[in-house]
Amino acid sequence: MSLSGGESKKLFEALLKAYPTYDELSALVLFQLDENLEAIAGSGILKSVVLKLINWAKARGKKLDRLIMGAYKENPDNLELREFYETIFKKQFITSPKIIAQDFGPDIDWQETDEIELQSWFQTEPDWYDVGFLKRAVEQSASVCRVEIPTQKITGTGVLISDKLVLTNYHVLKPDESEDLQTNALDVILRFGRFSEEDGTESDGQSFRLDRLKPICLWSPVEKLDYVLMQLEQNIQGTDIKPASWDISDRIEPRMGLNLLQHPEGESMKLSISSDAVTGVYEERGLIHYVNKASGGSSGSPCFNENGHLVALHHAQRSKSFGLIREGILFSAIYREISTYIK
């Protein structure tokens, strides 16, 4: 966020009121920013120190957000800080119309962070991306397909995990109880390599249908692991399509990076990147929470870690007053059920 002169003055006054001593302000900077106040602003008159701290934080983007959120979190009953947070910070940063989006997938039991803490996960875009990283993302895209059920006008995303097996969400093929899983499976079209062209059109890619006799090998309902393991009618050998790679021993922890390859709203393939997306991991339930961008049609999208390994299957999004939250199914949990099918 950015502050005008008048808004900076209000923050200055609020911090002085909430932190009347140097030691209290120093503790805020240490605990909320993991920084040393003296190194940032010296140890002179408190007004001068607060001013230097604000200017330092403003010059470092997200540091300003963390300073404001940290101060408010520590002093929610301070009238000046509360007024600044409610009338300036929340209005400008949290309730932005840019975060309004459609909910999809099952409900999310969000537990790990409150409104203020979650904001620290909403990072600004970096100034640049490493080309090697982008190259690896392109390689990962060879495993991703758009899942289409033409008769139901349904689209989702899937990921190839062996020469003939594709994972997507159970709720993509069975969005409600009135739908028949096997009937919809026989109508599925999987389109790999659906990328945008230079002229703005979408490439044809390569299309596959599911096996007529056994389109589904295994499945788990929404209330459990929400996946369907689908079987292609032919394998992908001899094409440039490749299964995703994974390492079941990979550890997933909060603040780790996560990248989603997806077909949002049925469009050409898109990449959602976040260097610290993960907000919570619940291995006992097979779930992971994160803040990467997604949309309708993204259900079933593979979530890759920074090593390029498949770690989760995206399946739900919910909008909150402070942003959008997402949930995926840990691939390690799915793998325990489907490992005998993967050769």
Contact yes or no for 185/232 (Cβ under 8 A): no
CA distance 285 to 282: 6
Q: How confident is the model over 140-175, as pLDDT tens digits?
A: 999 999 999 998 888 999 999 999 999 999 999 998
* Token pair 């002179």 in the structure block, residue: 44
Tell me, yes or no, whether 67 and 193 share the same domain. no
Tell me, yes or no, whether 119 and 261 share the same domain. yes
Asked which of 181, 207, 231 is the last residue of a domain, the reply is 231
Tell me, yes or no, whether 248 and 337 share the same domain. yes
Number of domains into which the chain is organized:
3
Phi, psi dihedral angles at 5 (to 5 degrees)? -60, -45
Asked which of 206, 231, 256 is the last residue of a domain, the reply is 231
Tell me, yes or no, whether 185 and 60 share the same domain. no
Buried b (16+ CB within 10 A) or exposed e, 280-312: bbeeeebbbbbbbbbbbbbbbbbbbbeebbbbb
Residue 209 sits in a domain whose CATH number is 2.40.10.10
- Average pLDDT in the 283-289 region? 92
Residues spanned by the domain of 84: 5-94
pLDDT of residue 292: 79
Q: How confident is the model over 237-261, as pLDDT tens digits?
A: 778 899 999 999 898 888 888 899 9
Tell me, yes or no, whether 157 and 220 share the same domain. yes
Tell me, yes or no, whether 250 and 331 share the same domain. yes
Tell me, yes or no, whether 323 and 288 share the same domain. yes
Contact yes or no for 53/68 (Cβ under 8 A): no
Residue 151 in domain: yes
Contact yes or no for 185/158 (Cβ under 8 A): no
Contact yes or no for 265/325 (Cβ under 8 A): no
Q: Which of 59-63, 133-137, 259-263 has the highest mean pLDDT?
A: 259-263
pLDDT of residue 188: 96
pLDDT-derived band at 100 (thresholds 50, 70, 90) equals: very low
Tell me, yes or no, whether 260 and 320 share the same domain. yes
Residues 6+ apart with CB under 8 A from 143: 159, 160, 161, 241, 242, 243, 244, 302, 310
Question: Angle 285-290-292 (CA atoms, 0-180°, nearest 5)?
Answer: 140
Residue 239 in domain: no
- Average pLDDT in the 312-329 region? 78
Residue 252 in domain: yes
Tell me, yes or no, whether 324 and 311 share the same domain. yes
Residue 36 has pLDDT above 90, yes or no: yes
DSSP 250-300: ----TT--EEEEE-GGG-S-EEEEETT-EEEEETTTTEEEE-----TT-TT
Return left, alpha or beta for 133; rule: phi > 0 is left, psi -120 to 50 is alpha, else beta.
Answer: alpha
Question: What's the start-to-end Cα distance of the chain, in Å?
Answer: 50
Residue 335 has pLDDT above 50, yes or no: yes
pLDDT-derived band at 233 (thresholds 50, 70, 90) equals: very high
CA distance 287 to 282: 5
CA distance 243 to 170: 20
Residue 297 in domain: yes
CA distance 107 to 95: 21
Q: With CA atoms as reference, report the closest residue to 312 among 289, 287, 331.
A: 331
Residue 211 has pLDDT above 80, yes or no: yes
Stated pTM of the model: 0.67
Tell me, yes or no, whether 107 and 250 share the same domain. yes
Residue 62 in domain: yes
Residue 238 in domain: no
Residue 121 in domain: yes
Tell me, yes or no, whether 179 and 259 share the same domain. no
Say how many residues make up the chain: 343
CA distances from 214 to 167, 237, 277 (A): 15, 20, 37
Tell me, yes or no, whether 210 and 167 share the same domain. yes
Contact yes or no for 195/268 (Cβ under 8 A): yes
Residues linked to residue 231 through DSSP beta bridges, in sequence order: 165
In a 13 Å sphere around the CA of 246, the CA atoms on its Cβ side amount to 26
Residue 137 in domain: no
Please give the mean pLDDT across all residues of the chain: 85
Asked which of 231, 252, 271 is the last residue of a domain, the reply is 231
Q: With CA atoms as reference, report the closest residue to 19 among 56, 50, 63, 64.
A: 50
